[in-house]
Amino acid sequence: MNKLLSFPSILLLSFVASSITCMVCDDSKVKETQQKEQPMLYDTSKVYERNIVELSMDNVHPVPLPPKEKWRRVLGYDVATPFGIPACPISLSSGVKFLSKLGFSVFTYKTIRSESFKAHPAPNVCLIPNMKQLSYADNKQPIHALEDAKKSPSIACSIGNACLDIEWVKEDIARARSYLQEGQLLIVSVYGVASEMRAAAQDFAYTALMAQKAGAQAIELNLSCPNVNGGLLYLQSDKVYEIVSTVCTALKDLPVIIKVGAFPDEETLNEIMFTAMRAGARGVCSMNCLPMQIITAEGKPVFGKRIHAGVSGGCIKDLALEQLHFLLKFKEKWAQSKMNIHHTECEIFSTGGVASAADLIDRVNCGAQIAMSATGVINNPYLAQQALRNKLFS
Ligand SMILES: Cc1cc2nc3c(=O)[nH]c(=O)nc-3n(C[C@H](O)[C@H](O)[C@H](O)COP(=O)(O)O)c2cc1C
C-alpha cells in the first residue's frame, strides 16, 4: 500500500488552521461583481493535495435558511434545503466551512480509504470544452482538453480515490461536522479494496465504521470511481450485494447509500438497484463522472498512462437527467415491491451537470430528494444561494 509523502502531511497540518479566509458579514446582499471575480475552486495547475488545503473564498455572506416547516427528511435527518455537494475536492472541511453558509445542506465528504493512498501523479484535473451532451455510448470517443482557459463548465479528473494521512482524515471529518448547523447533514464516501471480494467488502465496512466514529451521519459507498482499476463495481450485481450487505450489517442503523455511474440501460439499473436496496441500502447518488479518453491537441493522453478520466459538469447534464428519470421509476417499483423489507423508500441524490440555480431547482422539481453539484459549484459556489435568494425555490 502506498504511503503518503511527507510533503502533503506537513503541508496539510500547517495549512488547515489558516486555509480559508472566510469573511462573514451581516450584510445579506452578495454583490454580483464579487461573484464574477470568484476563480474556480480548483486550480488545475496545482497538485491535488494543495488544492484541497489551500481552498479559499472571500466575502462569504451567510444566506438565511427557509423556515423549519419547509425542511425535509433526508435519510432520517431534518434538512434545511434540498441542495448539496457530492464527494469531490470541495467537500472536505476546507470547503464545508464556507459552503455550509451558502445554502447547501448535504455534504458528501470526498471518498476515503482505510489507509492513506497517494493521488495519481499530476495533472489530476483538466478543463474540457463546452460541447454536445454526452451519452453512455459516447465513452469510446476521445475528447480534446481545453488549453489556455481559466474556467469551463465541464472538466475531466483523474485523482484515483486518494486518501490523505488517515489520522488527519479522521480529524478533518470531525472538523467538517463541527462546521455544520442544525438542518445540515454530513455523509462520508468510502471505498474498500482487497484482492478478494469478501475482504474488499470488509475493507468497505471497516472504513465506514471509521467514518462513523469520526462524525459521519450517513455513509456513501463509492462503487463507481472511473479512475481506479476495477472501480466500476456498480455494474456487478454480486459485488454490489456483498459490499452493501456487509457494510449495512456492520453499521446497524447508520444510513447507507450507494454512488453509481451511468447505467447502459434501464434494465441494468433496475437489476442493480433492486440488489442494493434488498441488501439494505437507503438510496442512491447518481451519477459519478463518465469515463472518457482525454487527449491533447496533438492527440496524446492528457493524463499520461491513464488513458481514461472521469468527465463531469455541463456535458453530462442530459445523461444525469435520464438516469434520474430511470431512478424515479425504480423508486415507485421499489415502494410497491415485496422485497422492501428494510426500507420502503429509495432516496435519490442527483448530481451531474447542475450548473445554475435553475438546474438545482429543476432536479428537485423532477423528484430528486437532494440536488447536488460538484463542477457547477467549483465554477460558481453561489448556486444554492442564488436559488434561495431568487425565490426560485419555495
Ligand atoms: C475533481 C473531482 C473529484 C471527484 N471525486 C469524487 C470522489 O472522491 N468520490 C466520488 O464518489 N465522486 C467524486 N467525484 C464525482 C462527483 O461527486 C460527481 O458525481 C460528478 O462530478 C458529477 O457531478 P457534477 O457534474 O456536478 O460535477 C469527483 C468529481 C470531480 C469533478
Examine residue 82 and state whether it is found in any structural domain, yes or no: yes
Contacts of 382 (CB under 8 A, 6+ apart): 30, 35, 38, 102
pTM, rounded to two decimals: 0.91
Q: Is the pLDDT of residue 125 over 90?
A: yes
Segment 79-109, tens digit of pLDDT: 999 999 999 999 999 999 999 999 999 999 9
**11 compared with 167, residue with greater pLDDT:** 167
- What pLDDT is attached to residue 2? 41
Assess if residue 363 is contained within a domain: yes
Per-residue confidence at 56, pLDDT binned at 50, 70, 90? confident
- State the closest ligand 1 atom to the C-alpha of 288, by its place in the atom list counted from 1: 19
CA distance 339 to 346: 12
In a domain, 61, yes or no: yes
Domain that holds residue 134: 6-389
Instruction: Name the DSSP letter for residue 108.
Output: E
**CA-to-CA separations, 319 to 53, 241, 358, in angstroms, rounded:** 32, 25, 17
**Residue 86 Cα to ligand 1 middle (Å):** 6
CA distance readout (Å), 293 to 129, 227, 364, 369: 14, 11, 31, 32
Q: How far is the CA of 333 from the centre of ligand 1 (A)?
A: 28
* DSSP structure string for 206-263: HHHHHHHHHT-SEEEEE---TTSTT--GGG-HHHHHHHHHHHHHHHTTS-EEEEE---
Q: What CATH number did the domain enclosing 273 receive?
A: 3.20.20.70
Residue 37: its pLDDT value, please?
Answer: 66
Does pLDDT of 214 surpass 50?
yes
132 three-class SS = coil
Burial group, residue 223, by CB count within 10 angstroms (0-12, 13-18, 19+): buried
What is the CB-side half-sphere exposure of residue 133 using CA atoms within 13 A?
A: 10
Pocket of ligand 1 (CB under 6 A): 86-89, 110-111, 125, 155, 157, 159, 161, 189, 222, 259, 288-289, 312-313, 316, 351-354, 373-376
- Out of 28-37, 192-201, 360-369, least confident range: 28-37
Of the candidates 28, 203, 46, the one whose C-alpha atom is nearest the C-alpha of residue 113 is 203
Tell me how far the alpha carbon of residue 67 lies from the centroid of ligand 1, in angstroms: 30
* Residue to mutate (ligand 1; options 85, 128, 288, 319; most atoms within 8 A of CB): 288
Query: Would 323 be classed as within a structural domain?
Result: yes
DSSP state of 29: P
Residue nearest to atom 31 of ligand 1 (CA): 375
The residue length of the chain stands at 394
Total Cβ atoms within 10 A of residue 4: 20
Residue 46, domain member (yes or no): yes
Percent over 70 (pLDDT), the chain: 90
Which residues, at least 6 apart from 121, have a Cβ–Cβ distance to it below 8 Å? 304
240 occurs within a structural domain: yes
Q: How many domains are there within the chain?
A: 1
CA-nearest of 259, 345, 267 to 310 is: 259
Give the position of cell 451511468. Answer: 262
Residue-wise DSSP of 163-180: B--HHHHHHHHHHHHHH-
Quote the ligand 1 centre to 28 CA distance (angstroms): 30
Confidence band of 277 (pLDDT split at 50, 70, 90)? very high
Contact call for residues 106 and 290 (beta carbons, < 8 A): no
Q: How far is CA 118 from the centre of its chain?
A: 19
Provide the CA 361 distance to its chain's centre, in angstroms: 18
Is there a domain that residue 394 lies in? no
Q: Does residue 1 sit within a domain?
A: no
Least confident segment among 20-29, 113-122, 240-249? 20-29
DSSP H helical segments within the chain, as ranges? 6-16, 32-37, 48-53, 93-99, 166-179, 197-214, 237-251, 266-278, 317-336, 357-366, 375-379, 383-389
Higher pLDDT, 23 or 355: 355
